[in-house]
Amino acid sequence: MRTVARKLLDWINRLGELWVEGQVTQLNARSSTAFLTLRDPSVDMSMSITANASLVRELQLTEGSRVIVHGKISFYPNRGTLSLRADEIRAVGIGELLARIERLRKLLHAEGLFDPRRKRRPPFLPQKIGLITGRASAAERDVLTNARNRWPAAHFRVINVAVQGPMAVTQVMTALSTLDRDPECDVIIIARGGGSVEDLLPFSDEALCRAVSQCRTPVLSAIGHEPDTPLVDHVADLRCSTPTDAGKRVVPDVAEESERVRQMRDRGRRALHGWVDRERKLLDALRSRPVLSDPYGPLERRAEEVKRLRDQSRRAVTQRLDREDVHLSGTKARLTTLGPAATLARGYAVVQLVTPDGPDGVLRSVTDAPSGTQLRVRVVDGAVGAVVTSAEGGGTDDA
């Protein structure tokens, strides 16, 4: 243990003198020696400082002052503690603070943290609104009052933090992280009233600006009054000039939205009535057409036309059959007239000579028949139906 402490002492002694910047959080000035606690405003880290009480009285330091301390670090092996023995203390002036803020602004702008394309639009009507502000502050009252006057059902989750001093940055970042993890929180407001440059200095801190830029939830910045523009205003998704302005912009006005709904309902009613009137006129026009006003008329006319065509077809077929019947009757009469039956019916006979070699013509008279020819006549059904001729040496055939 003694060896480790001695090695630490040797290494710390080799550091020499250095400058340290921070914010005074505790101050105890005794008769000859002053004890201070210097804190880094960006992170939760502090260091003990011992100095001559006259240095503190000359600068009129108070808790919250921003200072730069020059001195040498001392290590106390018996207690295992570190302390900075200061031989010079300088207060950070307004000009230097503004110059540092301007350098940080240029750095963040170059990194794209101010780019409008990165900014997200807050929801029209958030389910829950996160509010980070001072306890019982005018800023909290302004945000809550104006938001609930516009939308009485607005639901808030308020986290009170220090909005100035050495603990402000850490507490605001913690509250920001808590609200960003809340799944019901749709938007976050960081609000603070007006103040001096030193009072608003935590809202130009680099760590806080980067934390705001990394939030997944849209962030509204409402720091100070209209002329106050800390760096958080440029990084936030929406800058509000005052906490009152933030309360008005985070929720819609219920009266305006009710009037807008009424107007849209009237427009919808007029549009629906107009559409119904147009469709009714179109339906009336369609129903006035003959095909719809008398749907059976065309069918009846077509039925009459079909009946007429059918009658014409029947008459044409009948006439054709009659003509063909007359023609057939004439042909039959001519055949009857020219046929042997008519001749036989009048008492005549047609005699055909048949020889062994076959028929040999028609006999015009009996005298024309060769000698030795036998003639036979067969009467069928009481009429001469056939004449048979036969020569000697031949048979007989019916004709």
pLDDT tens, residue by residue, 99-112: 778 888 899 999 99
Q: Answer yes or no: is pLDDT of 343 > 80.
A: no
* % of the chain with per-residue pLDDT over 90: 41
Identify the top-confidence range among 6-15, 35-44, 192-201, 271-280.
271-280
| Residues 6+ positions from 74 with CB-CB distance below 8 Å | 12, 82, 83, 84, 85
Helix (H, G, I), strand (E, B) or coil at 155: coil
How confident is residue 394, by pLDDT bands cut at 50, 70 and 90? very low
CATH class held by domain 1-92: mainly beta
Q: Is the dihedral of CA 171, 177, 182, 186 positive or negative?
A: positive
Verdict on whether the full-model pTM lies above 0.85: no
Residue 15: half-sphere exposure toward Cβ, Cα within 13 Å: 16
Q: What is the mean pLDDT of residues 214-230?
A: 88
Return the structure tokens found at 22: 């921070």
Helix (H, G, I), strand (E, B) or coil at 143: helix
How confident is residue 252, by pLDDT bands cut at 50, 70 and 90? very high
| Residues 6+ positions from 240 with CB-CB distance below 8 Å | 189, 220, 221, 222, 246, 249
Q: Answer yes or no: is pLDDT of 227 > 60.
A: yes
**Per-domain boundaries in the chain:** 1-92, 98-252, 344-388
Q: Answer yes or no: is pLDDT of 234 > 70.
A: yes
**Cα 169 to Cα 164, 211, 224, 226, 335, distances in angstroms:** 8, 10, 16, 22, 137
Specify the DSSP class assigned to residue 261. Answer: H
- β-pairing, 374-380 with 383-390? antiparallel
Q: What is the mean pLDDT of residues 152-160?
A: 93
- Tokens 């020219």 sit on residue: 338
Phi, then psi, of 169 in degrees rounded to 5 = -60, -45
20 or 137, which is more confident? 137
Identify the top-confidence range among 254-258, 300-304, 330-334, 386-390.
254-258
**Cα 308 to Cα 19, 168, 299, distances in angstroms:** 122, 106, 14
Q: How far apart are CA 88 and CA 164, in angstroms?
A: 26
Return the structure tokens found at 343: 């001749």
User: What is the model's pLDDT at position 78?
Assistant: 73
* The Cα angle at residue 381 between residues 375 and 384, in degrees rounded to 5: 35
* The Cα angle at residue 159 between residues 157 and 162, in degrees rounded to 5: 160
CA 138 to chain centre: 43
- Tokens 């055939």 sit on residue: 397
User: What is the model's pLDDT at position 289?
Assistant: 80
CATH fold for domain 98-252: Rossmann fold (3.40.50)
Say how many C-beta atoms besides its own lie within 10 A of residue 202's C-beta: 29
Return the structure tokens found at 338: 């020219």
